Amino acid sequence: MIENEFKVMLTEGQYERVLALYDFVTFTQINHYYDTADLEMSARRVTVRVREVDGKFFLQMKLPTAALFSRVELSKELPNLPEKISGAELSSLSGTDCPDVERLGELKTTRSVYEFNGGEIDVDRSEYLGKTDYELEIEFTDEQAARRVLAEITEKTGIENSGEVCVGKVRRFLDEYAGSK
């Protein structure tokens, strides 16, 4: 599956204002991030995580594409949360050569979702390594509809969107992880 999304970092106040705009459905998910000791997968722009939702575990890989707002996302369910994942298992999922990886830590997200024709709005509160941050994601199949929704949100809340690409959760987690070593 190709994932297309716009991301905007929010302050806590902006997060609260966006939540007041729509009738969101809210749930919690935990991303457990994996890499090698020297962060080889991150250097290759590959995300390896196990997403935990409602007691179920899903091995997920995100692979880069040429498009700025898109990544290939692959997924399969696992019976439990592993501490290590073999390169062979990752290679089988992705079709690329991968090393063995181990669990680095977790990022817990309270996600609020609102679907619109052409995509969905995700408003996230994420906690990881003693830090909390807030993010707006607009995932889409229709880019023009997503741009209209983003413009509506920024107009109604006063949030400034510079159009720059926001750093994703895995990068924020890995930056904090590297700083704590």
Contact (Cβ atoms closer than 8 angstroms) between residue 81 and residue 102: no
Closest to 170 (Cα-Cα) out of 27, 44, 57, 85: 44
* Domains: count for the chain: 1
d(CA 17, CA 24): 12
Mean pLDDT (the chain) is 91
Q: The CATH number of the domain where 18 resides is what? A: 2.40.320.10
**With 0-12 CB in 10 A as exposed, 13-18 as middle and 19+ as buried, what is 104?**
buried
Convert the pLDDT of each residue in 100-145 to its tens digit.
999 999 999 999 999 988 889 999 999 999 999 999 999 888 888 8
pLDDT at 59: 98
pTM: 0.87
Q: Give the domain extent around 26.
A: 2-179
d(CA 126, CA 21): 20
Residue 58 has pLDDT above 90, yes or no: yes
